[in-house]
Chain A
Amino acid sequence: MKRIIYNITSGNPRSLIKPSVSSLLDGFCKIVPAAIILEIFNVIFRHFQTGEPLDSGRMWLVAGVLIIWMLIQYIAYAWAYDSTYYVAYDASARGRRNLAERLRRLPLGFFGSRDPGDITTMMLGDYTLVETAISHHFPQFISGLALPLLAFVCLLFVNWQMALAMFISLPVSVLIIYLTNSFQVRLSHAHIKAKVDAASRLQEYLLGMREIKAHNLSGTRFERLRLSFHRLMKESIKIEGLMGPIMMSAIGLMRAGLTLLILTGAYLMAAGSLTLPVFLVFVLLGTRVFEPLQVVMVNYAEIKYAMVSAARIMEIQRQPLQYGTDDAPQGNRIEFDNVTFAYEKKNVLKNVSFTIEPCTITALVGPSGSGKSTITRLIARFWDVQGGAIRLDGKDIREIEPEKLLSRISMVFQDVYLFKDTVGNNIRVGKINATHEEIVEAAKKACCHDFITALPMGYDTPVGEGGCTLSGGEKQRVSIARALLKDAPIVLLDEATASLDPENETNVQRAINALVANKTVITIAHRLKTVRGADKIIVLDNGSVSEIGRHDNLVSGDGLYRQLWTLQQQSAGWRMKAV
C-alpha cells in the first residue's frame, strides 16, 4: 500500500492528504441530511401511532436545517473543489518540471537507448493519468471506503442487527475481489499478450507493406494479422466473460445490502425491536452509502492503471545521474587508459588504451560492431566507463561537469536533430549570441548558404519537427554549420556523414574540411581511403585495439587493416554489368 501511494504521487505522498480530507468531508455532507430526515419520519409515524396532532413546527425546523445544510454543503464542496483540483494541477506541473530537470541531467546515452516517443508519453500522458488519479480517483477511493465504515460504526449504536445486515456483504465482496486478484492478473496477462502481439503484427504489416505488396504476400501476411486480431477478440471476450461474474457478484453482494436490510428490517419489525422511522432511515442510507463504493470499484482499475504510469515516472527518477563538477582543463590531449565498457551486459570495449595528441587527426577503423562509435561517445560522456579511465589533459573526465566537457566538443554524427524553428536559428544553436553575419559565414563554410537562400524564406524558413523537410545531406550540412559556429577544439566525426547524400558529397566534404582545420579530430572511418593522411589510425576488432599506426605502416603490415584495405580496393572499382 505504501508503495502504491508513493508511486501514484510520484514520490510525494503528502499531496494526497488534502484531496482525501476534502473528499471525505464532501461525502459526510451528503450523508447528514439522511440522518436529519429521521426526525420527519418520527413525527409522522408518531402522529399515526398515537393519534396526537401533527407537530408541524418541529417538521419546519427540520426543513430549515436542511436548507441551511445546503449552504454548508456548498461551502464544503467549494473548499474541496479548490483543494483537490488546485493541488492536482499544481502537483503535476511540478512533477513535469522535475522530470524535465531530471532528464536534463541524465547521461546522453540514455536518450539513445530509449524510444524518445516513450519518454514524451511519460511526460505528458503518464502525468495526466497521475493527475486524474490524484485529483479524482484516489480521494474517491478513500472516501468510498471510509464513509461506509464511518456510517457502520455510527449505525451500530442505532441498531446493531440492521447495521450488520447493511454491511455484512461488504467484507465478503471485498474478499472476493481480493482473492480473485491473482486470477485477474493471470487473465489480463493473456489479454495483454494478445494485445501486444496484435500491435506487433500490425506494426509489421504497416512497415512491411512495401515488401508485402512487392511479393504479393497480402494473403499470408494478412492472415497472420487477422489471426492476431482474432485472438485479441477472443481474449477480450474471455476476460470480460470471466471477470464479469466476479465483478457482478461483488457488485451484486454490495447491492444486496439494501435487500438484506429490507429483509432483516421486516423480521425485526415483526419482532418489535425496530421502529418504522429507523427502518426508513436505514433504507435511505442504504441507497446512498454504497453509491461511493461502486465508484471505488470502477476506479480501482483506473488507479491500477495510473500506478503503471507512476511507476514508469519513478523509473526515470531512479536513473543514475552523471557526476562531476570540475571545469575542463586547458589542454586537449585525450588519453584512454585501459578502458573497459559494457553496454547492457555486452562487452563493447576491452582494455583499450591509446592517446590522442592535440591538433591531430585520429581515425578509428574496424568492422561494424568493433566499438568505433562507442569510443567517440565515451569521450563525450554519453556513458561513463566501467573500468579504466578516459583523461582530458590528464584529468579524468568523470570529474568534469558534463556540460563543461561538452562545451569543448563538437560532434557530427549521422543522426541530426533540427528544432522546430527557422533554419537560421537552427544554426545559431552552435552559438546562442551569434550575429546574423556569423551565421551566414558558418553556413557558407558548411556549403549550406546556397540551398538556404533557395528556400522560400531563406534563413527564416521554418523547418519541421525533427527537421523533416530537408534532405539528409542538407540536414547534415546544417549540423556542420552549427559545429563550425560552436568552434570547439575537439571534433568527433563520423566520416559516413559525408556520403549520406552521394550527389552532394563534395559539398559535405568541403564543409568537413573547414570544420576540422586546426582541431583535435577523432573520426570514425568507413572508407579507408579518406583517412590515409590521418596522423594516427586505430584499428579496432571486437572491442580491442588490434593495431595502431599510420596508413603506410599499417598497409605494409599483415594485420586487419591490410585486409580491410584490400577488400575496399576491390569494391571501389566495381561496375554494374551483366556478364
Chain B
Amino acid sequence: MNNESVKKPKTGVARLLEISMEQKPLLILGVVLSVISTLLQFAPFIAVYFIVAELLKNASTPELIDYVFIKQWGIYALLFLIGAILTLYVGNMCSHIAAFRILYNMRVSLSRHLAKLPLGYFNRQSTGAIKKNLELSVEKIENFIAHHIPDLVGAIIMPLIMFVAMFVLDWRLALVSMIPIILAYCFQLHVFYSKSAKIKVKRWLDSQERMNAEAVEYVRGMPAVKVFGLTVRNFLRFNNSIADYREVTLEITKTYKHPYTAFFVLLTSLLSFIVPVAIFLLSGQPGNQALALVIMVFLVMAPGISVPVLKLMYLGGNLRYVTDGAERIDMIYAQEPITEPVAPRIPENYSVRFDNVCFSYDDKDAATRTEALKDVSFVAGEGEITALVGPSGSGKSTIANLIPRFWDVGRGSISIGGVDVRQMGTENLMNTVSFVFQDVHLFYDTIEENIRMGNSAAGRNEVIAAAKAACCHEFIERLPQGYQTRIGEGGTYLSGGEAQRVSIARAILKNAPILVLDEATAFADPENEVKIQQGLISLIQNKTVIVIAHRLTTIREADKIVVIDKGRIVETGRHDDLLLHEGLYKHMWEAHIDAGAWELVSEDARKGAQIQ
C-alpha cells in the first residue's frame, strides 16, 4: 500500500479517462454519435421557430399562411426524431461494448496480476476484499464509460447549443436566462464546497461507518450475545449508532434544505426571469415582429435548459463514487508481483537448505504482533524426514511457507539442491515441491479432476491408484457418481478428513521429490485419522520431507528435529539426543505426554485435581 510509484500515477477522473482510452475508437464513435443525437433532439425547436415565424408574419392576414410549409416542418421534426433515436441507440451500444470490453480486459489482467503476487497476499480476510474489487469496483467503471461519458458530453453540449442559439437570437434574453442558472450554481457551490459542509459530510461518513461496524458486531456476535445474555447492552449500542446516524443525516438534510430548495426553484423558474425583460423589450418596440417571434421561441425553449443542467449535477455526485472504485483497483495493481528469474535453474539434488534466513511480515494491520524469523539455518537432507517443532507462533509454519515462496525471505537464502528458490522459477519450484496443508481447497469440479490436479497428464488408472494409496478410493466409490461426482457448490461436500485425504492423493499423484506437510489431524474423526495416517505413509516414501509437527509422538523417528522458539532455532537433533538436554524440546515432550493422559473426570478424581 505504501507504493508511491515514481511515475506518479494518475488519479481521479484523469485515471478513469486513461482506463477508458483503451477502447479509443469505439468510445469516440459512441461520444460523437451521442453528440449528434443531442443535436438532432434540438430539431423540434427549430421546427417550432419556423412555424411560429410563418404564423406570426401572416397573423393579420391568415389567408397568406403557407400551410404546406408548416406541415413540412412538422414532418421534418419527426424525421429528425427518428434520426436522434437511431444515433442514440448506436452510440449507446458503442459505449457499452467499449465499456464491457474494458471491464473484461481489466478483470482478466487483474486476475493475471493476482496470480503473480506472493501467496502471502491471499489471506482469508483479503480474499473477500479482492473479490469485491474485481466485481464491484470494476463494475463502477462500466458506469463511468458507458453512462457518464456520453451523459456528460450530452449534458455539456446540450445547454451549450441552447445558449449559442439563444445568443444568436437575442443576447439580452440569453443573458437573463443565464442569471438563475449561475445563481443556482452559486448556492450549490456554497453548500457542497464550504468548509463546514465538508466537516459535516465527514461526520456523516464517520457515523455511517460506525453504524456499519456496530451492525457487523451485532450480527456476528449474536450467538455470543445470546449465550451471555448481553442482548440489551449490545442492542443498545447498535441502537445508539442507528439513532446517531439518523441524527447526523437529519442535521445535514436540514442544512441543505434552503440552499437546495433555492437551487431547484431557481433552475425551474427561468420563465420568471425572462418574462419581465421580454415585456420590457417588447414595450419599447411594440411593432417589432421579429422580436416577438424571438420572445415566443425563448419562452418555449428556455425552460428545457434546466434538464441537462440538473443532470450535470447528479453526474458530479456519482463521479466521486466511481473514482473510489478506480483507486481500489489501482491498489491491487500496485502490489509487487513475485520476481521470476530470466533463466530458471534446475537443482542438482533435493536437499533443502536455509542459510541465515530472516523474515518479517510487513503487513501492519494483520496482527498486533509480527511473527518473524531471525537467522534460521538448517539443512533438510535428501530423502530424510525433518520435523519443525515449537510453540504456536514460534515461526515453524512461516518456515514451511517460505520454501514455496509464499513470501520471499528478507535476508539470507533458501536453496534446493544448491539453487536459490528465487532462481528456480515458479513452475520449476512447484514441480519440485508438494504441499499438504490443514485447510484444503477443493475445486468445483469432479473428484477425479480434483485429484488429477496433482498431475494433469495422469490417466484414470493412475488417479485411482493414488486415491487407493491415500485411502480415498472407498469413500469415492460410495459417492453418487463415484469419481465423476462434483464437489462443492451444490454438489457433494466432503468432510474435513475426506478432503484432507483427497489432498494427499493429489500429492501422491504429483510425486514431487520434496514434500512439505502440516501434520494436524485433530479434527478428523477416528476412522479418518487412521486413513490419513495410512495415506501419509505411502506419500512420504523416498522423499525429502519437511513436516510441521504438532503432536510430538508422531515425529519421534524423524531424522532431524528442528526446535524453534520465537523465530530462532534453539535446538536441533534426533529425538533421543534432544531428550538428554534440559531444553525446550524436553519440556514440550513432557507436556505432550501429560496432555495425552488428560481425561475429563468425574467427581472424586476431580476434587483431587483441584487440590493439586
Contacts and interface: CB of A to CB of B under 8 A. Distances in A.
A266 to B, nearest CB: 4
Interface string A102-141: 0110001001100011011001100000000000000000
Interface stretch (B5-13, B14-22, B164-172, B529-537): B529-537
Nearest to B117: A209
A103 B219 contact: yes
Interface string B244-283: 0110011001000110111011001101100110110011
Interface string B577-612: 000000000001001101110111111011001100
Interface string A258-293: 111011111101101000100010011001100100
Contacts of A359: 603
Nearest to B55: A276
Contacts of A37: 271, 275, 299
A123 B223 contact: no
A67 to B, nearest CB: 5
B67 interface: yes
A482 to B, nearest CB: 7
A243 B448 CA distance: 42
Interface string A363-394: 10001110000000000100000000000000
Interface stretch (B94-102, B194-202, B410-418, B476-484): B94-102
A89 B249 contact: yes
Interface string A552-576: 0000000000001001101111111
A368 B557 contact: no
B547 A517 contact: no
Contacts of B100: 233, 236-237, 240
B536 A361 contact: no
Interface in A165-201: 198-200
A48 B56 contact: yes
B363 interface: no
A578 B540 contact: yes
B206 interface: no
Interface in B261-320: 261-262, 264-265, 268-269, 271-272, 275-276, 278-279, 282-283, 286, 289, 292, 295-296, 299-301, 303-304, 307
Cβ-closest 7 pairs across A and B? A502-B550, A263-B74, A270-B67, A93-B246, A252-B85, A48-B59, A505-B595
A100 B238 contact: yes
B553 interface: yes
Contacts of A50: 60
A266 B219 contact: no
Given A263-B75, A280-B299, 19 more contacts: A34-B303, A40-B278, A40-B299, A59-B282, A70-B269, A103-B219, A203-B131, A204-B443, A207-B127, A211-B441, A215-B453, A215-B506, A240-B92, A258-B44, A287-B301, A528-B526, A530-B600, A567-B527, A568-B529
B161 interface: no
A60 interface: yes
A466 B413 CA distance: 36
B221 A469 contact: no
Contacts of B228: 406, 429-430, 482, 486
A205 B114 CA distance: 10
A369 B495 contact: yes
B550 A123 contact: no
B443 to A, nearest CB: 6
Given A124-B212, A216-B431, A233-B101, A417 B71 contact: no
A504 B595 CA distance: 9
Contact of B530 (A40, A523, A567): A567
B510 A215 contact: yes
A430 B599 CA distance: 26
A578 B600 contact: no
Contact of A215 (B301, B454, B523, B533): B454
Interface in B112-150: 112, 114-115, 119, 122, 125, 127-128, 130-131, 134-135, 142, 146
A62 B430 contact: no
Given A103-B222, A207-B127, A226-B108, A33 B272 contact: yes
Nearest to B436: A214
A89 B286 CA distance: 54
A305 interface: no
B223 to A, nearest CB: 5
Contacts of A509: 595, 598
A441 B149 CA distance: 65
Contacts of A496: 522-523
Contact of B600 (A533, A568, A577): A533
Interface string A464-495: 01101101010000000010001000000001
A229 interface: yes
Nearest to A275: B55
B220 A116 contact: yes
B599 A531 contact: yes
A532 interface: yes
B594 A506 contact: yes
